[in-house]
Amino acid sequence: MLFMLTMPELQAEREADRIEELIARLADGDIEAMAPLYDLVRSPVYAYALSLLRDPHGAEDVLHDCCLRVLNAAGGYVPRGKPMAFIMTVTRNLCYDRLAEASRHVSPEPAEWERLLKTDDVPTSLAAAEWLNTLSEADRQIVVLHVLAGFKHRETAEFMGMPTATVITRYSRAIKALRKHIIRERMEN
């Protein structure tokens, strides 16, 4: 049986291969590999950290700390074809560490969401950020992991410790809620 990959799947596979190649270069001491690695993971790591922390400055700190952790752990990294899962796990752990230390959550400033959403990788309107903020934290994380980090529903489920069916249902409901919100907002304008 012949399996065909769709364009997004093929692109994700190439990106995963590129990230693993860059991590291997870091493990070999090639510090020049950090810049292209940073460019590849910047948007999904920042978006995921922002969705957890709801603090734009903290999300930037987590992004930088994550890159340093990946650099330091590169020698022990075992390629398994899913480097973004490794990187997002580092991101999640750093966020949880910050949340454990923090006594309050800071809501992201609209300008920070706009900056995030005006990259080439994600929607380009401030309204999209406002729409994401209408979701629960877990639903927002599911959407961010699926859309920005390119996780499959199964991978998101493993990452978040939920059954796959729950992630699929929550993702579907979140997308429907976003559509309703968008339609309602357009009708009001």
pLDDT tens for each residue of 152-167: 888 889 889 999 899 9
Q: Give a yes or no: residue 178 inside a domain.
A: yes
Q: Give a yes or no: residue 156 inside a domain.
A: yes
Predicted pLDDT at 188:
73
Q: Give a yes or no: residue 184 inside a domain.
A: yes
Q: Give a yes or no: residue 1 inside a domain.
A: no
CB 140 within 8 A of CB 131: no
pLDDT tens for each residue of 61-76: 999 999 999 999 999 9
Q: Give a yes or no: residue 29 inside a domain.
A: yes
pLDDT tens for each residue of 45-64: 999 998 888 888 889 999 99
Count of domains forming the chain = 1
Q: Which two tokens stand for residue 152?
A: 């499959």
Predicted pLDDT at 9:
67
Range of the domain at 27: 7-188
pLDDT tens for each residue of 4-18: 556 666 676 788 899
Q: How much of the chain, in percent, has pLDDT values that exceed 90?
A: 39
Predicted pLDDT at 10:
62
Q: Which two tokens stand for residue 28?
A: 């070999």
pLDDT tens for each residue of 87-135: 999 999 999 888 877 644 444 444 554 454 444 444 444 556 677 778 8
Distance CA 181, CA 189 (A): 12
Contacts of 157 (CB under 8 A, 6+ apart): 163, 164, 166, 167
**DSSP states of 60-123 as a string?**
HHHHHHHHHHHHHHGGG----S-HHHHHHHHHHHHHHHHHHH-SS-PPPPHHHHHHHHTSTTS-
